[in-house]
Amino acid sequence: MNRLEIENLGISFGGIKAVDSVSFSAAAGEVTSIIGPNGAGKTTLFNLISGVYAADTGHVRIEGADVTGEPPHRLARRGMARTFQNLQIFPQMTALDNVMTGCHLRETSNLLADLLGLPSSLRETAKSRGLALSALERVGLANLAARPASELSYGQLKRLEIARALVTGCSILLLDEPAAGCNAVETREVDDLIHAIADEGVCVVLIEHDMRMVMRISSHIVVLDQGSKIAEGKPEEIRDNERVIAAYLGAH
Ligand code: ATP
Protein backbone atom coordinates (compact mmCIF):
# COMPACT_ATOMS: atom_id res chain seq x y z
CA MET A 1 0.00 0.00 0.00
CA ASN A 2 1.25 3.49 -0.81
CA ARG A 3 1.84 5.60 2.25
CA LEU A 4 0.33 8.72 0.68
CA GLU A 5 -2.42 8.72 -1.92
CA ILE A 6 -3.77 11.82 -3.60
CA GLU A 7 -6.95 11.38 -5.62
CA ASN A 8 -8.57 14.06 -7.82
CA LEU A 9 -7.44 16.85 -5.50
CA GLY A 10 -8.55 20.29 -6.61
CA ILE A 11 -9.15 23.90 -5.56
CA SER A 12 -10.18 27.08 -7.35
CA PHE A 13 -9.48 30.69 -6.46
CA GLY A 14 -11.90 33.19 -8.00
CA GLY A 15 -13.00 30.71 -10.63
CA ILE A 16 -9.43 29.78 -11.64
CA LYS A 17 -8.44 26.18 -11.01
CA ALA A 18 -5.10 26.46 -9.19
CA VAL A 19 -5.05 22.66 -8.75
CA ASP A 20 -7.30 20.67 -11.08
CA SER A 21 -8.11 17.08 -10.15
CA VAL A 22 -4.55 15.93 -9.45
CA SER A 23 -3.86 12.30 -8.49
CA PHE A 24 -0.62 10.54 -7.55
CA SER A 25 0.79 8.13 -4.99
CA ALA A 26 3.98 8.27 -2.95
CA ALA A 27 5.63 5.23 -1.39
CA ALA A 28 7.60 4.78 1.82
CA GLY A 29 11.37 4.90 1.32
CA GLU A 30 11.08 6.81 -1.96
CA VAL A 31 11.51 10.40 -3.12
CA THR A 32 8.57 11.71 -5.15
CA SER A 33 9.13 15.12 -6.75
CA ILE A 34 6.50 17.61 -7.87
CA ILE A 35 7.82 19.84 -10.65
CA GLY A 36 6.36 22.40 -13.06
CA PRO A 37 6.80 25.99 -14.25
CA ASN A 38 6.08 28.98 -11.99
CA GLY A 39 2.42 29.16 -11.01
CA ALA A 40 1.79 25.50 -11.95
CA GLY A 41 0.11 24.84 -8.59
CA LYS A 42 2.87 23.01 -6.72
CA THR A 43 2.73 24.94 -3.44
CA THR A 44 -1.07 25.02 -3.57
CA LEU A 45 -1.03 21.22 -3.94
CA PHE A 46 1.21 21.00 -0.84
CA ASN A 47 -1.20 23.27 1.02
CA LEU A 48 -4.07 20.94 0.10
CA ILE A 49 -2.17 17.80 1.10
CA SER A 50 -1.03 19.27 4.44
CA GLY A 51 -4.46 20.62 5.40
CA VAL A 52 -3.59 24.33 5.09
CA TYR A 53 -6.32 24.68 2.43
CA ALA A 54 -9.60 22.73 2.31
CA ALA A 55 -9.94 21.01 -1.07
CA ASP A 56 -12.95 21.64 -3.33
CA THR A 57 -12.59 18.12 -4.74
CA GLY A 58 -10.76 14.89 -4.06
CA HIS A 59 -9.19 12.90 -1.28
CA VAL A 60 -5.96 12.52 0.68
CA ARG A 61 -5.19 9.12 2.18
CA ILE A 62 -2.44 8.10 4.57
CA GLU A 63 -1.85 4.34 4.73
CA GLY A 64 -5.32 3.92 3.23
CA ALA A 65 -7.09 6.09 5.83
CA ASP A 66 -9.05 9.02 4.41
CA VAL A 67 -7.65 12.16 6.06
CA THR A 68 -9.25 14.69 3.69
CA GLY A 69 -10.10 17.93 5.49
CA GLU A 70 -8.07 17.22 8.62
CA PRO A 71 -6.16 20.26 9.94
CA PRO A 72 -2.32 20.35 9.91
CA HIS A 73 -1.89 19.43 13.61
CA ARG A 74 -4.05 16.29 13.19
CA LEU A 75 -2.08 15.32 10.09
CA ALA A 76 1.13 15.85 12.08
CA ARG A 77 -0.09 13.28 14.61
CA ARG A 78 -0.66 10.90 11.72
CA GLY A 79 2.99 11.34 10.70
CA MET A 80 2.95 14.18 8.17
CA ALA A 81 5.46 17.03 8.43
CA ARG A 82 6.44 19.79 6.01
CA THR A 83 8.81 22.64 5.38
CA PHE A 84 7.94 25.89 3.62
CA GLN A 85 9.35 27.70 0.58
CA ASN A 86 10.68 30.58 2.71
CA LEU A 87 12.78 29.99 5.81
CA GLN A 88 10.65 29.91 8.97
CA ILE A 89 13.50 30.12 11.46
CA PHE A 90 13.75 32.21 14.64
CA PRO A 91 17.20 33.85 14.12
CA GLN A 92 17.78 34.88 17.74
CA MET A 93 17.07 31.38 19.10
CA THR A 94 19.68 28.62 19.13
CA ALA A 95 19.61 25.87 16.53
CA LEU A 96 18.48 23.46 19.28
CA ASP A 97 15.62 25.69 20.43
CA ASN A 98 14.45 26.15 16.85
CA VAL A 99 14.20 22.38 16.45
CA MET A 100 12.49 22.03 19.84
CA THR A 101 9.64 24.23 18.57
CA GLY A 102 8.68 21.27 16.35
CA CYS A 103 8.30 18.92 19.32
CA HIS A 104 4.80 20.05 20.26
CA LEU A 105 3.54 18.41 17.05
CA ARG A 106 4.74 15.05 18.28
CA GLU A 107 2.61 12.47 20.05
CA THR A 108 4.25 12.12 23.45
CA SER A 109 3.91 9.43 26.05
CA ASN A 110 4.33 10.45 29.66
CA LEU A 111 4.17 6.96 31.09
CA LEU A 112 7.83 6.76 32.13
CA ALA A 113 7.80 10.30 33.51
CA ASP A 114 4.64 9.50 35.48
CA LEU A 115 6.37 6.50 37.01
CA LEU A 116 9.38 8.64 37.95
CA GLY A 117 7.13 11.35 39.37
CA LEU A 118 8.71 14.16 37.32
CA PRO A 119 6.85 17.46 36.92
CA SER A 120 5.29 17.60 33.43
CA SER A 121 7.09 20.74 32.21
CA LEU A 122 10.52 19.37 33.21
CA ARG A 123 10.01 15.95 31.69
CA GLU A 124 8.61 17.40 28.45
CA THR A 125 11.56 19.76 28.11
CA ALA A 126 14.11 17.02 28.78
CA LYS A 127 12.45 14.73 26.28
CA SER A 128 12.17 17.48 23.66
CA ARG A 129 15.87 18.35 24.08
CA GLY A 130 16.88 14.74 23.48
CA LEU A 131 14.65 14.44 20.41
CA ALA A 132 15.86 17.78 19.03
CA LEU A 133 19.50 16.82 19.51
CA SER A 134 19.05 13.56 17.64
CA ALA A 135 17.22 15.40 14.82
CA LEU A 136 20.18 17.83 14.62
CA GLU A 137 22.51 14.83 14.44
CA ARG A 138 20.51 13.35 11.55
CA VAL A 139 20.98 16.56 9.51
CA GLY A 140 24.65 16.94 10.49
CA LEU A 141 24.23 20.01 12.71
CA ALA A 142 24.68 18.56 16.22
CA ASN A 143 27.93 20.51 16.70
CA LEU A 144 26.04 23.78 16.12
CA ALA A 145 23.18 23.05 18.56
CA ALA A 146 24.04 25.93 20.92
CA ARG A 147 24.66 28.52 18.19
CA PRO A 148 22.08 31.23 17.49
CA ALA A 149 20.43 30.41 14.15
CA SER A 150 21.55 33.83 12.87
CA GLU A 151 25.14 32.49 12.81
CA LEU A 152 24.34 29.54 10.56
CA SER A 153 24.97 29.56 6.81
CA TYR A 154 22.03 29.47 4.41
CA GLY A 155 22.59 25.79 3.62
CA GLN A 156 22.72 24.98 7.34
CA LEU A 157 19.43 26.85 7.89
CA LYS A 158 17.75 24.79 5.16
CA ARG A 159 18.90 21.62 6.96
CA LEU A 160 17.79 23.08 10.30
CA GLU A 161 14.28 23.37 8.90
CA ILE A 162 14.39 19.73 7.87
CA ALA A 163 15.51 18.83 11.42
CA ARG A 164 12.49 20.68 12.82
CA ALA A 165 10.22 18.60 10.57
CA LEU A 166 12.04 15.35 11.46
CA VAL A 167 11.68 15.95 15.21
CA THR A 168 7.96 15.31 14.86
CA GLY A 169 8.83 11.66 14.14
CA CYS A 170 7.23 11.97 10.70
CA SER A 171 6.73 9.11 8.26
CA ILE A 172 5.71 11.48 5.44
CA LEU A 173 7.91 14.51 4.81
CA LEU A 174 6.83 17.29 2.43
CA LEU A 175 9.73 19.57 1.43
CA ASP A 176 8.97 22.81 -0.42
CA GLU A 177 12.11 23.75 -2.39
CA PRO A 178 14.64 22.31 0.08
CA ALA A 179 17.63 23.46 -2.01
CA ALA A 180 16.34 26.87 -3.16
CA GLY A 181 19.04 29.50 -2.68
CA CYS A 182 21.72 26.89 -1.89
CA ASN A 183 25.07 26.82 -3.70
CA ALA A 184 26.30 23.65 -5.46
CA VAL A 185 28.02 22.24 -2.35
CA GLU A 186 25.03 22.95 -0.10
CA THR A 187 22.68 21.42 -2.69
CA ARG A 188 24.71 18.19 -2.65
CA GLU A 189 24.48 18.14 1.16
CA VAL A 190 20.69 18.50 0.93
CA ASP A 191 20.68 15.69 -1.70
CA ASP A 192 22.58 13.35 0.61
CA LEU A 193 20.32 14.22 3.52
CA ILE A 194 17.12 13.56 1.54
CA HIS A 195 18.52 10.23 0.35
CA ALA A 196 19.38 9.25 3.91
CA ILE A 197 15.89 10.20 5.16
CA ALA A 198 14.21 8.16 2.41
CA ASP A 199 16.56 5.23 3.10
CA GLU A 200 15.27 5.23 6.69
CA GLY A 201 11.81 4.48 5.24
CA VAL A 202 10.30 7.96 5.22
CA CYS A 203 7.99 8.83 2.31
CA VAL A 204 9.56 12.05 0.95
CA VAL A 205 7.60 14.35 -1.36
CA LEU A 206 9.33 17.47 -2.59
CA ILE A 207 8.86 20.52 -4.76
CA GLU A 208 12.07 21.63 -6.42
CA HIS A 209 13.11 23.89 -9.30
CA ASP A 210 16.69 22.60 -9.55
CA MET A 211 16.12 20.07 -12.34
CA ARG A 212 19.52 18.41 -12.01
CA MET A 213 18.82 17.74 -8.35
CA VAL A 214 15.33 16.42 -9.15
CA MET A 215 16.73 14.04 -11.77
CA ARG A 216 19.42 12.84 -9.32
CA ILE A 217 17.31 12.12 -6.28
CA SER A 218 13.78 11.26 -7.43
CA SER A 219 12.29 7.79 -7.64
CA HIS A 220 9.17 9.23 -9.20
CA ILE A 221 8.28 12.64 -10.71
CA VAL A 222 4.87 14.31 -11.06
CA VAL A 223 4.71 17.25 -13.49
CA LEU A 224 2.12 20.01 -13.11
CA ASP A 225 1.25 22.76 -15.57
CA GLN A 226 -1.50 25.33 -15.02
CA GLY A 227 -2.95 23.27 -12.18
CA SER A 228 -3.14 19.96 -14.03
CA LYS A 229 -0.91 16.90 -14.01
CA ILE A 230 0.61 16.64 -17.49
CA ALA A 231 3.07 13.79 -16.92
CA GLU A 232 4.27 11.31 -14.33
CA GLY A 233 7.05 8.74 -14.26
CA LYS A 234 10.68 7.92 -13.58
CA PRO A 235 13.32 10.65 -14.16
CA GLU A 236 14.40 9.18 -17.50
CA GLU A 237 10.78 9.11 -18.69
CA ILE A 238 10.18 12.73 -17.69
CA ARG A 239 13.44 14.08 -19.12
CA ASP A 240 12.41 13.29 -22.71
CA ASN A 241 8.66 13.90 -22.39
CA GLU A 242 7.56 16.35 -25.08
CA ARG A 243 4.66 17.82 -23.08
CA VAL A 244 7.02 18.53 -20.20
CA ILE A 245 9.61 20.18 -22.45
CA ALA A 246 6.87 22.28 -24.10
CA ALA A 247 5.48 23.37 -20.71
CA TYR A 248 8.91 24.56 -19.57
CA LEU A 249 9.74 26.27 -22.86
CA GLY A 250 6.34 27.98 -22.82
CA ALA A 251 7.06 29.37 -19.38
CA HIS A 252 10.15 31.29 -20.52
P1 ATP B 1 6.12 28.71 -7.91
O2 ATP B 1 6.96 27.69 -8.63
O3 ATP B 1 6.26 30.07 -8.53
O4 ATP B 1 6.24 28.69 -6.42
P5 ATP B 1 3.68 27.10 -7.82
O6 ATP B 1 3.72 26.02 -8.85
O7 ATP B 1 4.01 26.71 -6.42
O8 ATP B 1 4.58 28.31 -8.29
P9 ATP B 1 1.28 28.14 -6.72
O10 ATP B 1 1.97 29.08 -5.80
O11 ATP B 1 0.67 26.93 -6.14
O12 ATP B 1 2.24 27.73 -7.91
O13 ATP B 1 0.17 28.97 -7.50
C14 ATP B 1 -0.74 28.38 -8.44
C15 ATP B 1 -1.79 29.40 -8.82
O16 ATP B 1 -2.72 29.57 -7.77
C17 ATP B 1 -1.23 30.77 -9.15
O18 ATP B 1 -1.92 31.32 -10.24
C19 ATP B 1 -1.50 31.55 -7.87
O20 ATP B 1 -1.63 32.92 -8.14
C21 ATP B 1 -2.81 30.94 -7.40
N22 ATP B 1 -3.01 31.00 -5.95
C23 ATP B 1 -2.31 30.27 -5.03
N24 ATP B 1 -2.75 30.54 -3.78
C25 ATP B 1 -3.74 31.46 -3.94
C26 ATP B 1 -4.62 32.16 -3.03
N27 ATP B 1 -4.56 31.95 -1.70
N28 ATP B 1 -5.52 33.01 -3.55
C29 ATP B 1 -5.61 33.22 -4.89
N30 ATP B 1 -4.83 32.61 -5.79
C31 ATP B 1 -3.91 31.75 -5.33
| Full-model pTM | 0.90
Q: How is 90-151 classified by DSSP, letter by letter?
A: -TTSBHHHHHHTTGGGS----HHHHHHT--HHHHHHHHHHHHHHHHHHHTT-GGGTTSBGGG
Alpha carbon nearest to ligand 1 atom 23, residue: 44
Alpha carbon nearest to ligand 1 atom 1, residue: 38
ipTM over 0.90: yes
Compute the distance from residue 13 Cα to the ligand 1 centre, in Å. 9
Question: How big is the CA angle at 72 (ends 197 and 211), to the nearest 5 degrees?
Answer: 45
92-101 in b/e form (b: 16+ CB < 10 A) is eebbbbbbbb
pLDDT in tens, 103-136: 877 655 455 556 656 566 666 677 788 999 999 9
Q: What is the mean pLDDT of residues 46-51?
A: 96
What DSSP designation does 25 have?
E
Compute the distance from residue 94 Cα to the ligand 1 centre, in Å. 33
Does ligand 1 lie within 6 Å of residue 41's CB atom? yes
Does ligand 1 lie within 6 Å of residue 44's CB atom? yes
**Residue 1 pLDDT level (bands cut at 50, 70, 90):** low
Mean of the per-residue pLDDT values of the chain: 91
Model pLDDT, residue 104: 73
Compute the distance from residue 39 Cα to the ligand 1 centre, in Å. 5
Does ligand 1 lie within 6 Å of residue 40's CB atom? yes
Does ligand 1 lie within 6 Å of residue 42's CB atom? yes
Alpha carbon nearest to ligand 1 atom 27, residue: 13
